[in-house]
Amino acid sequence: MLLLVLAFFSGSASGSGAEVYKVPFAEQGRWQTLQYSRIAPHRVRFSPVGLELGVEGSAMPLVYPLAEPVKVASVNVKGRVVQGSLKVPPGRQGEKDADDYVFRLGLVEPGTRTLNFVQRQVAPAWVRKLFELAPPGGGISRIRFLNVGAEPAHLGRERQHPLSELILEKVVALPRADGRFDFTHTFEQPIDAIAVWLSADGDDTGSRYTLLVESIELVKIDR
């Protein structure tokens, strides 16, 4: 399933007009944790060394809304699977009953799409929360996910999710043999973001593993 998270702190400059922002994993009070209907949540632990997610056939979003939209040029991510593993059938990751990824980092993009009264009554909680992130008088465009995949053949694969037009995702990295992943992704064009949505999944495949997200940095440029 899907999820995500965000937090920004000013860091070192990265080129003219750019700033690096780091996720403060120790500040639990600034995060929003959600649950999907009929899906068990993760065990979550915030600490100065990173964000630890205990995945036990579970899925849940962790969200951090931004005070105002920012323009993101690139992201830098470090993390690792501490124990266990993602059990996705070979060649089937992303398909029905195998739509689990060890890590998804999403940027929520503002737009004009909103929910009407009837849609708000029937929409899942995660969809309502997504639209609540929109700035006053505005709406949502989509969540753009960067995924850590399971197979080299999927690297670079991009798609609009078949179950939701709100989700665009791309496989940008693979874990090494020791479970570690470390990637930088630069967008072809900087994108506006109003939140980050962090996800680790095990509900489709019954996977059990512990994920430690060690560092998330977003490089913001002047709007």
pLDDT in tens, 101-160: 999 999 999 999 999 989 989 888 888 888 998 988 899 999 999 999 999 999 999 999
Tokens of 212: 């430690």
Q: What residues contact 71, with CB distance under 8 A and at least 6 apart?
A: 190, 191, 192, 193, 220, 221, 222, 223
Q: pLDDT, tens digit, for every residue of 32-72?
A: 888 888 899 999 999 889 999 999 999 999 988 877 789 99
By CB atoms closer than 10 A (0-12, 13-18, 19+), residue 97 is exposed
- Where along the chain do its domains lie? 10-188+201-221
- Reference 54, options 74, 40, 36; nearest CA is 40
Q: pLDDT, tens digit, for every residue of 163-209?
A: 888 999 999 999 999 999 999 999 999 999 998 899 999 999 999 99
What pLDDT score does 223 carry?
66
CB atoms within 10 A of CB 36: 18
Bridge partners of 183, per DSSP, are 77
